[in-house]
Amino acid sequence: MKKHNYSAGPCILPQEVFEKSAQAILDFNHSGLSILEISHRSKDFVAVMEEARALVLELLGLEGKGYQALFLQGGASLEFLMVPYNLMNINGKAAYLDTGTWANNAIKEAKLFGETVIVASSKDQNYNHIPVDYTIPEDADYFHCTSNNTIFGTQMKSFPKTNVPVVCDMSSDIFSRTLDFTQFDLIYAGAQKNMGAAGATLVVVKEEILGKTGRTIPSILDYQKHIKAESMYNTPSVFAVYTCLLTLQWLKKQGGIAAIEKINEAKANLLYSEIDRNTLFKGTSAVADRSFMNATFLLENPELQESFDKMWKEAGISGITGHRSVGGYRASMYNALPMESVQVLVDVMREFESVFS
């Protein structure tokens, strides 16, 4: 039986993506060949890459606006390094908002390149909210933020207005909600949440911000080289990119980001209402900053953990244990998680209350 999969990533993808990608491993496009055994320069795969790159820009509303979409490798973690390499001037400076573990990892890499100003941090309150009222230095080469904090369950609901280029790690909420994506100059995201199989990293970059640092950038880390090579500078992660294409096609069929956003809001509202109503549970993040992708919560009485774990496992739920660094529970409700799965979890929480309160 298919589990109700709340994994934080890699995570649930649409069923048709599993089926079509499995088929492509056996026989891709009725070619008599597996997608795993053809050249990435073959006509069929070049078409996959081209369509995936175009769909990204179409779904984000960035077509014809000077942006390029790239499918790279190395995960979002390599982007922590590629961003300063490509955007921080020699003797320049970058501004970062510290909202969690991943933001921190990005900051660590930026510090290797030059002055890295942390404009605000919620670390002293265990990252339970998104800081407000901070100033971005006018002379920063860019400002970096993390739209959704996968581990702590917080999400930026708005983004600062600034004249410096804005870089955003959207690994765990890309394609989940409508935003004016033109406010970002560079967006990156590991594929393995709302996009596809692990192994591909999406980078969407406004071309005009590149090539200004005075640095010599190793070829494989140079966004301009990847753009020139149409995201085929070296062998791309062909299968992961194909799963991204299938997921983007699925999203377009659902009605795009605006349509999935409504479902995501309904799923998140259902679960958060239960967390707030049920006296046995409490949410961990500030209500205004709650993530619609990753809901983090605790048992009021930790001694009941074993009983609760038994109950949700018996209901066919998988993957709601919190990140190892914070404990508690985390229900990740990415685009492909159906509403019915959220209802199953809510029903378990109600049943748990009826037995233990």
The rounded distance, in Å, linking the Cα atoms of 217 and 227 is: 14
CA 183 to chain centre: 18
Pairing of strands 294-299, 281-283: antiparallel
Whether 189 contacts 167, CB under 8 Å: no
Question: Interface with ligand PMP includes 199 (CB under 6 A)?
Answer: no
Closest CA to 264 of 240, 298, 297, 290: 290
Whether 61 contacts 181, CB under 8 Å: yes
Please report how close the Cβ of residue 161 comes to ligand PMP at its closest, in angstroms: 23
* Catalytic annotation present for 102: yes
Q: Considering only residues 92, 165, 190, 196, which one is a binding residue for ligand PMP as defined by CB under 6 A? A: 190
Please report how close the Cβ of residue 297 comes to ligand PMP at its closest, in angstroms: 18
Which residues are documented as binding site for L-glutamate? 41
DSSP label at 62?
Answer: -
* Interactions with ligand PMP, residue window 154-183 (CB under 6 A): 169, 171-172
CA 72 to chain centre: 15
Residue 77 or 224 having the CB closest to ligand PMP: 77
* Catalytic annotation present for 169: yes
Question: Interface with ligand PMP includes 237 (CB under 6 A)?
Answer: no
Please report how close the Cβ of residue 103 comes to ligand PMP at its closest, in angstroms: 8
The rounded distance, in Å, linking the Cα atoms of 159 and 148 is: 12
Closest CA to 35 of 226, 236, 306, 313: 236
Residue 144 or 206 having the CB closest to ligand PMP: 144
Question: Interface with ligand PMP includes 99 (CB under 6 A)?
Answer: no
The rounded distance, in Å, linking the Cα atoms of 8 and 333 is: 8
Please report how close the Cβ of residue 78 comes to ligand PMP at its closest, in angstroms: 7
What sign has the CA pseudo-torsion 28, 31, 35, 39?
negative
* Catalytic annotation present for 193: yes
Backbone angles phi, psi at 111, to 5 degrees: -60, -25
Residue 75 or 283 having the CB closest to ligand PMP: 75
CA 205 to chain centre: 16
# binding residues, ligand PMP (CB under 6 A):
11
Identified catalytic residue from 141, 169, 173, 222:
169
Residue 14 or 190 having the CB closest to ligand PMP: 190
Which residues are documented as binding site? 41, 76-77, 102, 150, 169, 192, 234-235
* Interactions with ligand PMP, residue window 45-84 (CB under 6 A): 75-77
Identified catalytic residue from 173, 185, 193, 312:
193
Question: Interface with ligand PMP includes 291 (CB under 6 A)?
Answer: no
Which residues are documented as binding site for pyridoxal 5'-phosphate? 76-77, 102, 150, 169, 192, 234-235
The rounded distance, in Å, linking the Cα atoms of 157 and 288 is: 8
Paired strand residues for 186 = 167, 205
Alpha helices in the chain (DSSP H): 15-26, 43-60, 75-87, 101-110, 223-228, 238-254, 256-277, 305-314, 339-356
* Interactions with ligand PMP, residue window 120-149 (CB under 6 A): 146
Question: Interface with ligand PMP includes 150 (CB under 6 A)?
Answer: yes
Q: Considering only residues 71, 102, 113, 143, which one is a binding residue for ligand PMP as defined by CB under 6 A? A: 102
Q: Which residues are catalytic?
A: 102, 169, 193
Which stretches of the chain bind ligand PMP, using CB under 6 A? 9, 75-77, 102, 146, 150, 169, 171-172, 190
